[in-house]
Amino acid sequence: MKSSGKKIFIDEIGYFEATNDPYVFVGFKKGYNWKAIDTLKQYADSVIYEADIDSRIRYPMEKAREFLDLDLLDGITIFNTDNESQGVSHIKRIEFYTHTMGEEFICILETPNPLEGADFYGINGTDQFIGSLKSHTINDTNLKDSLRNSIKIKTRTEWGLEIKKIEPFNTSYAYYSFTDESEAKRSYLFEVNKDQITTMAEINQDYCIFGLTPVSLQFNGKPVFILFVGVPDSDVQWKTPAIYNGTKYEITNKRIIDLSQYKSDSNSFACDLTTLADVNDQIKNLNRIDIDKFLKTFSEDYINNVEYSEWSHELLFEVLYEYPEETIGLLNDSVYKHTVIYDQLKEPMDEIIDSKSIIERIKSLNIRNEPANTIINTLQNYHAKI
């Protein structure tokens, strides 16, 4: 049931402490269906857990597969909120869970080892994770005031404002949720980079953002989030992925995401000399956003732009030397012109950056994926010929 890469699963993972069972909620193949519920209830074969306020009843897998949507639930990699992998899980059984808030079908997951931590999320459909993802909350009163002032809207009630610094992106993200003077509920998602505030998403619905958790994925050069959202002053709350589409963050309200719908225009920075100038000036102080823009400048049109091709050729080796892990991580995304980039590596700039040192730096990171292998092989082939 592993995805081909076009679809990925991102969702929170529940956990029953009484039985040490992680789980995810399960929907129906054709939407909510009372008839399917009544049919499935007939096949209940055992009670897993029962207490005063909740119960869990097991259902045969063959009947569950007939009615329930189990797509991408087998092979989920589970992470705790410190973004530490807890291993790959597999479907253990299907249960009907009755509790104080309602009832639903759930999928119990089997993990290699007992989970460690309190809160968890899961990803399936890819194994290209950010192994060094870290985040921490920033309590900066002046920056919070700047975020409030940036939207120029008077508020009646604030529901939340939080800023998180995220590594290795070296960038901060924040959400601000409030009710305005007209009683409309609003939420904003911001990116803060080098004192520049950019609005990345705006929600004008009945719900607001109450929490932001970065997950161990990047897309279009920016981190993927799980947002905690809900209707203020109610028990209606849920979690949803937010993914960058190349222009802004989209709140999906889905746990299975078709990545082909969120691809950005990779030609927006093609052969852009301004981007090259910025990279050149800040070569010792680049972040993932800067490197992402630089990689997007590579285009098939470079052969007709002598000034760009010579400068980008030189900078590529400098960027690879200074930021091998970040560059290779970004190159896992299909948004770039990989053939054009790899062609540049066939003629190293050893008078500027020793290409053998690039090989050694990549090997020392112990990264084993297609971009790392291609870069190493290309540079080694060059040295084998001379």
Ordered DSSP codes for 165-208: EEETTTEEEEEEEEEETTS-EEEEEEEEETTEEEEEEEE-SS-E
| Residue 287 pLDDT level (bands cut at 50, 70, 90) | confident
Report, as an integer, the average pLDDT of 1-5: 40
185-223 pLDDT, tens digit per residue, is 999 999 998 778 999 999 998 999 999 999 998 887 788
Report, as an integer, the average pLDDT of 242-269: 78
> Which pLDDT value is given to residue 1?
33
Cα→Cα distances 190→78, 195, 208, 219, Å: 27, 12, 14, 17
**259 or 85, which is more confident:** 85
> Across 37-89, where does the E strand assignment appear?
46-50, 55-59, 68-69, 77-80, 85-88
In the predicted model, what is the mean pLDDT of the chain? 86
Let me know the angle formed at the C-alpha of 237 by 71 and 208, rounded to the nearest 5 degrees. 110
> Which pLDDT value is given to residue 95?
93
Report, as an integer, the average pLDDT of 214-235: 90
Cα→Cα distances 129→16, 18, 186, 303, Å: 26, 31, 32, 34
Beta bridge partners of 187: 177, 203
> Which pLDDT value is given to residue 304?
59
> Which pLDDT value is given to residue 4?
42
Cα→Cα distances 239→207, 225, 316, 380, Å: 12, 10, 39, 46
Q: Is the pLDDT assigned to residue 303 strictly greater than 90?
A: no
Report, as an integer, the average pLDDT of 229-238: 92
Q: 107 Cβ partners below 8 Å, 6+ apart? A: 23, 24, 25, 26, 70, 73, 91, 92, 93, 94, 95
> Which pLDDT value is given to residue 259?
79
Report, as an integer, the average pLDDT of 72-82: 93
Percent with pLDDT over 90 in the chain: 43
Q: Is the pLDDT assigned to residue 73 strictly greater than 70?
A: yes
Beta bridge partners of 59: 94
| Residue 278 pLDDT level (bands cut at 50, 70, 90) | confident
**Contact indicator for 203, 187 with CB cutoff of 8 Å:** yes
Q: Is the pLDDT assigned to residue 317 strictly greater than 60?
A: yes
Q: Please tell me the distance from the alpha carbon of residue 328 to that of residue 261, in angstroms, as a whole number.
A: 23
128-176 pLDDT, tens digit per residue, is 788 778 899 999 999 999 999 999 898 999 999 999 999 877 889 999 9
Q: Is the pLDDT assigned to residue 90 strictly greater than 90?
A: yes
Angle between helices 370-385 and 355-365 (to 10 degrees): 150
| Residue 2 pLDDT level (bands cut at 50, 70, 90) | very low
**Contact indicator for 173, 289 with CB cutoff of 8 Å:** no
Q: Is the pLDDT assigned to residue 332 strictly greater than 90?
A: no
260-276 pLDDT, tens digit per residue, is 776 554 455 666 677 78
Report, as an integer, the average pLDDT of 364-372: 86
Q: Please tell me the distance from the alpha carbon of residue 382 to that of residue 376, in angstroms, as a whole number.
A: 10
pTM beyond 0.75, yes or no: no
- Placement of tokens 């990549």 in the chain: 362
> Which pLDDT value is given to residue 70?
92
Cα→Cα distances 258→10, 243, 252, 255, Å: 11, 11, 10, 10
Q: Is the pLDDT assigned to residue 23 strictly greater than 70?
A: yes
> Which pLDDT value is given to residue 281?
87
Q: What is the CA radius of gyration of the chain?
A: 24
> Which pLDDT value is given to residue 385?
64
> Which pLDDT value is given to residue 307?
65
> Which pLDDT value is given to residue 3?
37
> Which pLDDT value is given to residue 323?
93
> Which pLDDT value is given to residue 43?
80
